Amino acid sequence: MEIHNIHRNPRWLTGLTLKTLLFGTLISTASTSLAIGITDEKFTDLAGELSADETAVNLAYGQLNEASLASHFNPVGMLLAGNLRCTATWLGSEEDSAYIVTAAHCVYGDNKSEESRYIGERATFRTGDGRILAHGIATTNFAGYTQCSNDIAVVELPLIANPIDSNGQLVPKPVFADQPEFTGFQYQPMTLAGYGYWGTPTLGNLGWGRAFGQGGIPLDFGGCLLNQADSEEAWAFGAPGDSGSASWHWRDGQFIATGIASRWLGWAGRSSLHTRIAPHHQWLKRVYPQINTVTRSRTLTESSPIELGSVERSVKGSVYYNAGDNTLGPRDSQWDYPSGFTYLGVYLTDQSERTSRLVILRAQRLTHCGWGEINNGVYCRGGANKGDLKVWFEHEDNAGLVPGLYQGTFTLEAKGWHDESYQSSIALKANILMEGNRGIEGTVTETKATRTIPYDSTVRGTIYYQAHGSTKSDTGGPVWNGEGGRWSTLDVLVRNRDTKEAHSVKLRASRLASGCMWVTMNNAVSCQGDEQGSYGQLDISYHESDNPDLPDGRYESYFNLKAIGWHTNFHKVLTFRVDVNKGG
């Protein structure tokens, strides 16, 4: 089937193979043309008539231009690279560089089909108000562009200015999908803001100007999302110049970027194809480690709460929250003037001991009357619905917790008060570092090892060491041999302070055998004639060369090892802290 046949009957698209779809037209443009194709029906609804007259066009697209300036589109702008004009989205800025995601076919590269970098193309990125955010020689990263499913690139440009909103405040980083949950977005409204041609199937090209559109994605062709404009809810599609624009879905208090505009199928096709973002999230995190994602934005730490925006915006009436999976909290609803907060209990795993412990959290729901308990569905007049959700950790509520890294998942159930059919399970994560000095043997940093006291001097015979809790070691049970100059490798679960994600850090652990040599930590061998009493000490150190795949960042955690007597029934759990800054 050829593309012009698709134009005659857009509904045939649902029967197409991925191979056929990939021959769609790329939607970048070398002209000055700008944004979004819409259905004839939507144009008529906006302009009052289906006409290419300038008055009708300006009336229809004037409304779409205004809608494209909504706050959640603030990171969206125009990318000028070489002789191409595309759409792109600001990911964030670090020091003197801006990071921008767009379609791979919008930018130059000499090895696009492989995961690669290209330096040398001059580019400019402007926001919706025309301000230049970044300009200069680009460093462009490719995931390996071969087709629609991987038509994605990240451009690093010299920073001119960070994006600001209409109030002069810094625009927060947008949220990108990093979970394989296409079915959760399937058939849900999808919004676009881009810099592609204006037009309709009947009228064709009508001009240009930044614009907004709403579509819907019914199908995923192996990572290539099909957006079809075929209903009152889905009436917009990407056109030339929209390449690189993010497609956004509203989900429980957040606009989430789920796709990158890649191709269109002509005016009559009323459809566009979008590279699915989630399958590339690991690559995106390598290229720009500070990217904001669904998982990161919904992860609670001891110092950063979870905050979700107007959850009620797509629901008729108000929304309240009950406790869900692994959550102790309200199971009913109330209607009262909002005040105070709700205590929640969640069971998290203490990684030092690999045991489950109850951690207390606090939560609130926002109305126009203020913050209050989460199961309070009261609606206060004063504008658009709110229903903001905030969950946070207080040290004073958890004074009984021993130092350690506490991790786990929990859910809250969002329920409609007026629309009883509405219910959504909001999945959240906790990654809490409970700090303290109780019983800590020492701290391992990137520049300093830690060493225990000579534990052999406290017992009859000798001591050896083994991994405990979630810590893993490449050495097993106890041994007695004279092989010196060796160490054990530990795998310790740590948390990246900035991204909130868990990683594994490799450390070296060596035991001093009676002052004569260093051996693996599980080696209980003793050397004769030691008169210094310095035997049995354990030395733990970090070496960057042992962690080549660990992304740059600051990593923190606690971990446990067990000291065990060879000749006696001695057992003692030892707690250590990790505070390693790689690349800092």
What integer pLDDT is reported at residue 538 of this predicted model? 94
What integer pLDDT is reported at residue 25 of this predicted model? 55
Torsion of CA 447, 495, 307, 375, to 10 degrees: -140
Same domain, 319 and 406: yes
Query: Which among 149, 154, 144, 162 is positioned nearest to 106, based on CA atoms?
Result: 154
Cβ–Cβ under 8 Å, residues 571 and 492 = no
Instruction: Compute the distance between CA of residue 498 and CA of residue 304 in angstroms, rounded to an integer.
Output: 10
Q: What are the Cα distances from residue 272, in Å, to 224, 237, 359, 500? A: 10, 5, 47, 35
Q: Which tokens is 266 given?
A: 């002509």
Same domain, 262 and 332: no
> SS3 sequence, 202-246?
CCEEEECCCEEEEEECCEEECCEEEEECCCCCCCEECCCCCCCCE
Count how many domains the chain has: 3
What integer pLDDT is reported at residue 385 of this predicted model? 62
Same domain, 207 and 189: yes
Which residues of the chain carry a pLDDT beneath 70? 1-35, 382-385, 514-515, 528-534
pLDDT in tens, 463-522: 999 999 999 999 989 999 888 778 999 999 999 999 999 999 999 999 988 667 889 999
Instruction: Compute the distance between CA of residue 276 and CA of residue 87 in angstroms, rounded to an integer.
Output: 16
Same domain, 251 and 206: yes
Q: At what angle do helices 40-47 and 54-67 cross, to 10 degrees?
A: 100
Domain CATH for 408 = 2.60.40.2520
Instruction: Compute the distance between CA of residue 409 and CA of residue 397 in angstroms, rounded to an integer.
Output: 19
Domain-ending residue, one of 278, 311, 329: 278
Q: SS3 for 25?
A: strand
Backbone angles phi, psi at 398, to 5 degrees: -130, 40
pLDDT in tens, 393-445: 999 999 999 999 999 999 999 999 999 999 999 999 999 999 887 789 999 99
User: Does the residue 9 lie in any domain?
Assistant: no
Cβ–Cβ under 8 Å, residues 246 and 260 = yes
User: Does the residue 158 lie in any domain?
Assistant: no
Instruction: Compute the distance between CA of residue 149 and CA of residue 27 in angstroms, rounded to an integer.
Output: 15
User: Does the residue 393 lie in any domain?
Assistant: yes
Same domain, 214 and 342: no
Instruction: Compute the distance between CA of residue 499 and CA of residue 176 in angstroms, rounded to an integer.
Output: 13
Cβ–Cβ under 8 Å, residues 309 and 410 = no
Residue 292 DSSP class: -
Same domain, 501 and 419: no
Question: Domain range spanning residue 510?
Answer: 440-582
pTM (2 d.p.): 0.86
Domain-ending residue, one of 215, 249, 278: 278
